[in-house]
Structure 1
Amino acid sequence: MKTVMNQTMPSPPHDFFQNPYSFYERVRTIHPICWGNLLKQSGWYVTGYEEAKTILKDTRFKNRIPLPLATKKYEQLKNIQSEMLLFKNQPDHKRLRFLVSNVFTPRMVDQLGPYIEKTVNDLLQSFQHNKNMDIVSDFAFPLASQIIAEILGVPQEDHYRFREWATSLIHSIDFTRSRKVLVNGNEVMLILRDYFKDLIKKRKQNPEEDLISLLIKEEQQGDRLTDEALLATCILLVIAGHETTVNLISNSMLVLLKHPQQMMELKEKPLLMERAVEEFLRYESPTQMIARIASEDIEINEKKIKKGDQVYILLGAANRDPLQFHEPHLLDFKREPNHHLAFGNGSHFCLGAPLARLEAKIALQSLLAWKDIIKLATPDLQWRELVGFRSLKELKITFE
């Protein structure tokens, strides 16, 4: 197969974090796979849907821990990440995922529905006499914290600590992190390690009906989770259970506030919400980038990717590829098909996808039914400067 000449992507504009999509579109017109140095991360950047899907399913592209050479200052961060399902390759990934997925099932998630509804209603009720709120800090974050804490069996009095922990750790695994952020992430990882070591010890002595107890008991063909893997799984759930859900709910609400006609449609037809959530996932993907490393020379779409090359799959770009999605920049709840890549693809497809979908569906339906009029408090929006995630700093609304 013919290999095309390397084409380098341009530098991102100054407003990249406010609107990355016009930049992604510009890069895609050069080639769906471009060599570049986005935010000081050299490698192949993938903006095409088919190319992204192919790479995500190809096991020759290995997962990797997004850290520079480890130092003792953030050694614990790297050690625990190396045990996480998210950063495992085959065959370890298949074995670990099998054990976790036998416990963290769609049925278990469905059973959380009433608790999610009650938590959402309690949060909204606490603002019943207010005229404004911040969707991110007042609603989405406390909702995600309480749900993931409930799943893990974390005592109620410790729920509030999850927010600070999750925020610190998500910055430490993003590609924009500084060494200072890594050091802080390492310190938080040590706190979480000690916290969950203690909780796991308690559950071994006195099991309950929470995920930790079930994971401790889970055994398949003589295989079970090691203490290290169990600890890493708990911490991964804290990170992923916050970031994906908070971003999905907040981003979706922002999209609706910018599309009042579609908001009214969902108010009148709440049964459309499941399909709407899929479109929100495509339109403003909570996770924007996944990293891989080539384990051998591989050629895709006439691009020769060499062994050891870093590959960055831009999910937000792939989900707006016009070759896959008709009029990709339009919000369309009736889009069919809508095989977006917001939760990845292949063996690493996000295990928590059913939970994120259910939380978003209940949260958004409840928000829209709660007040007749909901508006943006200010048109000036600030996004967190994370290249791996599409994440608002705040989303202030008014209502009546």
Structure 2
Amino acid sequence: MKTPLEMERKTRETGPVTWTESNGGHWLVSHADAVSEGLRDASNYSTEKFTKEDGEPGGGVMIPTVPFYRYLPNESDPPQWDVFRKSIAQHLSPASVQSLQPLLDSYVTEVIDHMIELGEADFVMQVGSPITALITLHLLGLPPTDWHFYAGPIHALFAAPETAGPGVAAIQVRLAQTIQDRKALPERGLVDDLIAQQADGKALTDDDIKDLVFDVMVGGFDTVAGLMAGAIQWLQDKPEIKQRLIEDQAFLRSANEEFLRYISPAVGLSRTATCDYTIADQEISAGDRIYFMYRSANWDPEEFESPEELDLERMPNPHVAFGSGIHRCVGSNLARAVFRTVIPEFLSRILDYEVVEFEQYRLTNNNAGFAKMIMRYTPGTKVHEEPLFDHI
């Protein structure tokens, strides 16, 4: 059986835009220039969900369509998109992310403290998942003590999707109740700011708020954890590179971009054509579904020299790991901050780790990541003998 990367290479070799009959039939856009062109084009596509003539859900950013909720702001079009995007963008601006740095530093130190004496740990569930969940919940204004409740089902969405339903449903119920509770007793966080905008007459329903919050979780938890896990796996037998990442901030920033390109945690997302048009000399009909392949674009030899090799000093590096256009990842600043905080501290404290077992996601057409990554290492020393937090 071919790997996803082998299938993507074959698709690129067939042409920039090709048709597949899978999942009801849709177009695959695989070349870097065509992917970038399509992602920047907001006039010929829609990401909205809709109900088809047979009563089944259609549209959205995933193939097949996920029927349960809207991934907002991604599954919206202007002018509604403007309201949704602006509602969360200020919380994820460079300045806002910078203000989170002291807390992020503390979380990273504490999480590593929890596993450093064990000698064996699952990087995904004992490092990547708690750090990304804790900082995201703080941003949202949700209790950090609940991070297991939220992170477990969202991880299962990609690692074991057949088991995720009950947990995701419980999250939806919890968020709906939280919105009502916060209307009565406001606190501080993105949830409360969204409710305040609703009270000011902005076009936000309770379901909009719930779906916006859930999508921040989906985007903030496992995608970043998967990026870090992939980097840690690759670095395990490269001591000189590990030391440079600890000592050289410029090299760390460059490496961050190359790991984003190479791993491409968001593998691709879909659109629906709103009119007849042409992309890369291929005619597309109104109503056709199109899958834009981010990772394939990032591995396109027409765009990147030796794309299947990791070059941590690659410049320029015009990857589309965060997408492009109006639906570019709104959380990119936070994702970079988490990576650049976790990687050097982990490498400086866990000196001799070896990955002994790993399992990648089974659901691979939307996200690349790991269900688990077991490593062994020489036990180290905690920074804080007494925990800083009681919820990790």
- Which interval holds the TM-score relative to the shorter structure? 0.7 to 0.9
Which residue of structure 1 aligns with residue 388 of structure 2?
Answer: none
Q: Does 1:399 align with 2:377?
A: yes
Identity of aligned residues (%): 23
SS at match of 1:231: helix
Q: Does 1:116 align with 2:107?
A: no
Which digits, 9 at most, give the CA deviation of each residue in 1:101-124, with x for residues without a partner? 234433222111111111111111
Deviating more after overlay: 124-133 vs 251-260 = 251-260
Which residue of structure 2 aligns with residue 74 of structure 1?
Answer: none
- Cα distance change of structure 1 residues 171 and 292 upon mapping to structure 2, 3 Å threshold: farther
Which residue of structure 2 aligns with residue 24 of structure 1?
Answer: 8
Matches within 5 A, 1:50-61: 50-59=33-42, 60-61=44-45
Which digits, 9 at most, give the CA deviation of each residue in 1:334-372, with x for residues without a partner? 211111101110000111111111111111111111132
- Cα distance change of structure 1 residues 92 and 368 upon mapping to structure 2, 3 Å threshold: same
SS at match of 1:86: coil
SS at match of 1:102: helix
C-alpha distance in structure 2 between counterparts of 1:365 and 1:309, whole Å: 45
Which digits, 9 at most, give the CA deviation of each residue in 1:145-184, with x for residues without a partner? 2112222222233221112231344579xxxx7xx66xx6
| Cα contact 2:272–2:290 (8 A) shared by 1 | yes
Deviating more after overlay: 268-277 vs 301-310 = 268-277
- Cα distance change of structure 1 residues 66 and 368 upon mapping to structure 2, 3 Å threshold: farther
> Which residue of 78, 92, 103 maps to 2:67?
78
> Which residue of 346, 360, 376 maps to 2:325?
346
| Cα contact 2:20–2:28 (8 A) shared by 1 | yes
Which residue of structure 2 aligns with residue 371 of structure 1?
Answer: 350
> Which residue of 8, 14, 17 maps to 1:33?
17
C-alpha distance in structure 2 between counterparts of 1:226 and 1:272, whole Å: 44
Q: How many residues align?
A: 366
C-alpha distance in structure 1 between counterparts of 2:106 and 2:296, whole Å: 36
SS at match of 1:88: coil
Which residue of structure 2 aligns with residue 358 of structure 1?
Answer: 337
SS at match of 2:115: coil
Deviating more after overlay: 304-313 vs 151-160 = 151-160
How far is the alpha carbon of 1:42 from its aligned partner? 2.5
SS at match of 2:221: helix
How far is the alpha carbon of 1:273 from its aligned partner? 1.3
| Cα contact 2:90–2:96 (8 A) shared by 1 | no
SS at match of 1:394: strand
Q: Does 1:48 align with 2:48?
A: no
Which digits, 9 at most, give the CA deviation of each residue in 1:193-212, with x for residues without a partner? 32122222232233222221
How far is the alpha carbon of 1:188 from its aligned partner? 4.0
Which residue of structure 2 aligns with residue 234 of structure 1?
Answer: 213
Which residue of structure 1 aligns with residue 142 of structure 2?
Answer: 154
SS at match of 1:393: strand
SS at match of 1:90: coil
> Which residue of 139, 144, 162 maps to 2:132?
144
Which digits, 9 at most, give the CA deviation of each residue in 1:252-296, with x for residues without a partner? 212223655533432343442122111100001001011111111
Q: Does 1:336 align with 2:310?
A: no
- Cα distance change of structure 1 residues 219 and 64 upon mapping to structure 2, 3 Å threshold: closer
Which digits, 9 at most, give the CA deviation of each residue in 1:65-105, with x for residues without a partner? 4999548xxxxx736317x2121112211222123223443
Which residue identity is paired with 1:81?
Answer: R
Which residue of structure 2 aligns with residue 10 of structure 1?
Answer: none
| Cα contact 1:272–1:333 (8 A) shared by 2 | yes
Q: Does 1:324 align with 2:307?
A: no
C-alpha distance in structure 2 between counterparts of 1:28 and 1:301, whole Å: 13
- Cα distance change of structure 1 residues 79 and 327 upon mapping to structure 2, 3 Å threshold: closer
Which digits, 9 at most, give the CA deviation of each residue in 1:40-74, with x for residues without a partner? 46211111001001111112121144999548xxx
Which residue identity is paired with 2:30?
Answer: T
How far is the alpha carbon of 1:234 from its aligned partner? 1.2
SS at match of 2:74: helix
C-alpha distance in structure 1 between counterparts of 2:26 and 2:186, whole Å: 47
Deviating more after overlay: 367-376 vs 354-363 = 367-376
C-alpha distance in structure 2 between counterparts of 1:61 and 1:377, whole Å: 44
Matches within 5 A, 1:250-265: 250-257=229-236, 261-265=240-244
Which residue of structure 2 aligns with residue 8 of structure 1?
Answer: none
TM-score (norm 1): 0.84
| Cα contact 1:293–1:308 (8 A) shared by 2 | yes
C-alpha distance in structure 1 between counterparts of 2:219 and 2:304, whole Å: 27
Which digits, 9 at most, give the CA deviation of each residue in 1:195-233, with x for residues without a partner? 122222232233222221222224799535332211211
Please provide the CA RMSD for this pair.
2.6
Which residue of structure 1 aligns with residue 361 of structure 2?
Answer: 384
Q: Does 1:102 align with 2:90?
A: yes
SS at match of 2:376: strand
C-alpha distance in structure 2 between counterparts of 1:117 and 1:397, whole Å: 23
| Cα contact 2:223–2:368 (8 A) shared by 1 | no
| Cα contact 1:276–1:333 (8 A) shared by 2 | yes
| Cα contact 2:134–2:147 (8 A) shared by 1 | yes
